[in-house]
Amino acid sequence: MEESIGVYKPTGVLFDTPEYNTALKTCWHPQSYKTQIAVMMAFLGLQQENQIPPHITAEDMINLLMEENKKTLRERLWEFDIEKLEENETKGLLKLVWAVNIINKMKDIELQARLLLKYPEAIPPKFQTPKLLSMFNKYLEILKEKLQETQTSRLLSPQEVGIEVVPRVLQGFWEHPPYPLLNLASQSLSELSTCVTKATLDQLSNTPRAKESKAIFSRSMRDDMVQTILAEIREKHPDDTVLSNTANHTTLLTTIAGVATNHICKILQPQIPNEPVHHTQAAQCPTRDQYDLNITGTEEESTSPEIIDDMVTPGSLSASAESPFLSEVQASEEHPSETSSMCEPLIPVTNTAESFEDLKTKKKEKGFLQKLFKALCCFCFCVSLPATD
């Protein structure tokens, strides 16, 4: 973070560029913004009257509004322009700008809708037209059908968790307007949210634990993490309670990124491959070198959870000989499994030189016994002949 303006250097080159301004203008389109507030106000009004099913939340409706907005020509053209860009830092930053602004916009829409219900005299006449009411009813029906197949948890990367969490933490320090102004208030958080989120993502990228890990994440986990981070930061910075007054304080912004990184790393889990090597299908038989490395026991042992845990535990490759996984390998080398596999070679792997020597030895022993037998027979025959005069 730069001390003077509180900007993270890797993102500073993007601000005030035409690409950044276009992204901001597209995301915070005034007419779309007001229409979404009107629909959200109708939803919250019915929710207060207990006319909305309890399992449908305000966030469900906001998410649907964001999805429907993607179908507009305005957003589709913006996405088309982004995809034409080369895969570089600028393209990634623009996508990050869009993601954090969508989260800020969602929060702003819900806040403005609640304020309008609190101050009904401020509701614009256009917010209560039959067209908007029809749009709301349509979205509500879509939402009821869609939530029947919605999963409560998702498997996210550390970067995806960071984008979900950090902008919401910053909103906890933001002083929202107490009266419905419908003036895109949270748009002013764009640069700050982008900077701190990018700083957090960079810290996660440099953390070994986060490189090969995923997190099972839900809304409740996200909300709990946001509150935990806010509480920890407020303990460290009790005087910095309003972000609008401390945007230039590098220490606070750096603390937010560091604390968020630590809490995200705590929920990460090592990623287990979907198809382990010893579960390879018959159509994908390993090569000879792979076969020599795939030393397994019986079928029950190869699917044992304990073995899988040992395989994916960090540092298992340098484990001692007392490790359960290494013990399993040694046992399988001494007592090869009798269970056949479709991927096993047709000719068993044996020591050819040793087998040839055994055959030669057995052949010599057989020849010696045959000669000895003939000699004994001749001797017995001679002894049994009668004596002649």
CB 144 within 8 A of CB 55: no
Phi, psi (5° rounding) for residue 41? -65, -40
Instruction: Give the pLDDT band (50/70/90) at residue 237.
Output: confident
- Please give the pLDDT value at position 269: 82
pTM score: 0.68
Residue 204's pLDDT is 95
The Cα–Cα gap between 111 and 40 comes to 10
Three-state DSSP state, 14: coil
- The mean pLDDT value for 3-31 works out to 86
202 or 307, which is more confident: 202
Average pLDDT over residues 322-334: 35
Taking the C-alpha atoms of residue 82 and residue 190, their distance in angstroms, rounded to an integer, is 18
Please give the residue that has the higher pLDDT: either 12 or 287. 12
- Tell me what the mean pLDDT of segment 368-379 comes to: 60
The mean-pLDDT minimum among 8-17, 123-132, 298-307, 356-365 falls in 298-307
Asked whether the predicted pLDDT for residue 314 surpasses 50, the reply is: no
**Quick one: pLDDT at residue 28?**
97
> CB burial class (10 A; 0-12, 13-18, 19+) of residue 171?
buried
Q: Report domain extents, the chain.
A: 9-270, 277-334
Mean pLDDT of 294-320: 35
* Strand order across the beta sheet in which 269-270 lies: 153-156, 213-218, 269-270
pLDDT tens digits, 34-68: 999 999 999 999 999 999 998 899 999 999 999 99
CA atoms within 13 A on the CB side of 25: 10
SS3 276: coil
Q: Let me know: does 324 contact 306? Beta carbons within 8 Å.
A: yes
pLDDT digits (tens, 9 = 90+) for 198-233: 999 999 999 988 888 999 999 999 999 999 999 999
Q: Is the pLDDT of residue 386 over 90?
A: no
Look up residue 245 and give its two tokens. 């007054």
